[in-house]
C-alpha cells in the first residue's frame, strides 16, 4: 500500500492547531491530490510537476481555502468561493485553460469532501475551532483505524 503523500503534520505546527478545520483541510488536500492524479484533463500538469510539487500545491490550496470557508460561515458570502487567484498565486505562469481545469478539479474535490461531512459526526466545519483527536490517532494508529 502506498504511503499517504499528504501528511497530517503539514496542517499544524503545535498542539493548539490540531483543530477540526485543519483536519478538514487535511482531508480536502488528500481528496484534491487524488483527483489531480486521476483527472485526464490534468495530464499536462502532472507531466510538468512531480509528486512532491503536486502535494505542496494541494496543501497550499487547502490551507488557502480557509479564507473562503471563514467568509461563508461569517455571512460575507452566500457560498464557498473558489478564487482563481488561489491558483494564480501559486502558479503565476500557468495557462488560463489549465488554471480553470485545476480550479474545476478543486471545486469537485471540495464538493466530494463536503458531501461526506453531511453524515460525519465530527463536524469539522461547524465546530472548526474545536480540538480534533484524529491528528493524534493518526500518529498513533494510522489512518482512521
pLDDT < 50: residue spans in the chain = 1, 144-145
pLDDT tens for residues 94-111?
999 999 999 999 999 999
Task: For residue 4, tell me if it sits in a domain.
Answer: no
Task: Print the domain residue range for 69.
Answer: 15-141
Per-residue confidence (pLDDT) for residue 145, from 0 to 100: 36
- pLDDT for 144 equals 47
Q: Return the pLDDT at 43.
A: 95
Taking a C-beta distance cutoff of 8 angstroms, is the pair 110, 28 a contact? yes
Please tell me the predicted confidence (pLDDT) of residue 72: 79
**Domain count across the chain:** 1
- Classify burial at 25, counting beta carbons within 10 Å of its beta carbon; exposed 0-12, middle 13-18, buried 19 or more: buried
116 found inside a domain: yes
Q: Is residue 100, in this structure, part of any structural domain at all?
A: yes
Q: Is position 125 within any domain?
A: yes
Q: What is the pLDDT of residues 65-79, one digit of tens each?
A: 988 888 877 778 887
- Could you give the CA distance from residue 139 to residue 132 in angstroms, rounded to a whole number? 13
Query: Quick one: pLDDT at residue 135?
Result: 87
d(C-alpha 29, C-alpha 126), whole Å: 19
pTM above 0.85, yes or no: yes
Amino acid at each position: 500500500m502506498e504511503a499517504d503523500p499528504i501528511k497530517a503534520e503539514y496542517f499544524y505546527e503545535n498542539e493548539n492547531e490540531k483543530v477540526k478545520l485543519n483536519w478538514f483541510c487535511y482531508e480536502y488536500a488528500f481528496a484534491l491530490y487524488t483527483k489531480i492524479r486521476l483527472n485526464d484533463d490534468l495530464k499536462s500538469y502532472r507531466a510538468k510537476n512531480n509528486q512532491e510539487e503536486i502535494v505542496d500545491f494541494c496543501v497550499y490550496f487547502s490551507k488557502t481555502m480557509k479564507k473562503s470557508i471563514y467568509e461563508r460561515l461569517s455571512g460575507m458570502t452566500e457560498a464557498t468561493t473558489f478564487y482563481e487567484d488561489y491558483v494564480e498565486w501559486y502558479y503565476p505562469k500557468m495557462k488560463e485553460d489549465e488554471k480553470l481545469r485545476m480550479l474545476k478539479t478543486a471545486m469537485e474535490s471540495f464538493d466530494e469532501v463536503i458531501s461526506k461531512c453531511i453524515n460525519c459526526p465530527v463536524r469539522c466545519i461547524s465546530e472548526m475551532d474545536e480540538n480534533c483527536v484524529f491528528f493524534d490517532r493518526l500518529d498513533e494508529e494510522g489512518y482512521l483505524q
